[in-house]
Amino acid sequence: MRGPMTRAVVVALGALALWPAAAGAQTPAAPQTPPPDTGTVTPPAPPDPKKVVPVKTPDPLELLQQPGDEIKLSDEKLVTRWGHAQATAKIRLSPQASSRMVARLRFLTEDGLPEVYLVLAARRDSAGRNWLQVRVPKRPNGKTGWVLDEMLSSSLYIVQTQLVVDRRKLRATLYKKGKKIWSARVGIGKRGTPTPRGKFWIRERLRGLGGTYGPWAFGTSAYSNLSDWPGGGVVGIHGTNQPGLIPGRPSHGCIRVRNDKIRRLARLMPIGTPVRIIN
């Protein structure tokens, strides 16, 4: 016969034996129901027109998805894209077929070499066509316009160099990926025929002209009111047969460089390199 103490122990042990089962017997959470598939796809974020498209992007124009999308193709410092004309198409003031014509693309430079167009940006119009904003090599300096993308090279060329010419310091400096790789004192235009200030680019590389032009010469997109460049008007960067005039202001607008320096520059500066003439 069990006494009161024995019955209390048995009841307590039974309660302990039941506790884990009772604690684990919680109501399971209801399964998560996925949201219904509405068939809509979130469109990609539009490209940032202020940020230049990276060099490694295979086809930058694929970033243009919606009408009004715009991308920056060149910053003219670290990344610059350029192309050759595929037709003598009209260059428009704005990226639309009804816009006023400001010039025409051309195949050749004044010296008979393939013309070079610096490409600043691209934009998609309301009809789904892609337009390229280009710098235009003509007077007055500084012109820009828009052409349909198929009017330039299907694959744009890329350079990562920039030449800065300081008229006050009489010095030219070449940068690659933002780092200085070449520098030299220069001769520039006289007061009556100044070397123009602004943003330009290298359109031509000419070797072996000799004499006044030295071993190498580069044709730029800048135009002077008078120039000693063949064909007239184009501002060139070239060697010299009068190194004693450098540094100085001896020219009709061209930029003169001592011959040893121009040879070195020719190994470093490709076609399409932006040229910024300051001060």
What is the pLDDT averaged over residues 95-113?
Answer: 95
Question: Where does a domain end: 132, 158, 184?
Answer: 158
Neighbour tally for 195: CB within 10 Å: 24
For residue 22, what pLDDT band results from cuts at 50, 70 and 90? Answer: very low
Question: Where does a domain end: 158, 177, 210?
Answer: 158
Rounded Cα distance between 176 and 159, Å, is 9
pLDDT of residue 258 exceeding 80: yes
Structure pTM?
A: 0.81
User: 88 φ, ψ to 5°?
Assistant: -85, 60
Domain with 66, as residue range(s), is 60-158
Task: Note whether residue 214 is domain-resident.
Answer: yes
Among candidate residues 109, 117, 126, 115, the one with its CA nearest the CA of residue 145: 117
pLDDT of residue 29 exceeding 60: no
Determine the pLDDT at residue 33: 59
User: 22 φ, ψ to 5°?
Assistant: -65, -40
Q: Are residues 269 and 178 in the same domain?
A: yes
Determine the pLDDT at residue 37: 57
User: Which long-range CB contacts under 8 A does 15-18 form with residues at least 24 apart?
Assistant: none
Task: Note whether residue 11 is domain-resident.
Answer: no
Q: Are residues 145 and 192 in the same domain?
A: no
Question: Where does a domain end: 158, 189, 209?
Answer: 158
Task: Note whether residue 99 is domain-resident.
Answer: yes
What is the pLDDT averaged over residues 116-137?
Answer: 97
Q: What is the 3-state secondary structure (H, E, C) of 262-278?
A: HHHHHHHCCCCCEEEEE
Q: Which residues are catalytic?
A: 238, 254
Q: Encode pLDDT of 194-225 as tens digits.
A: 999 999 999 999 998 888 899 999 999 999 88
Q: Are residues 227 and 239 in the same domain?
A: yes
pLDDT of residue 226 exceeding 80: no
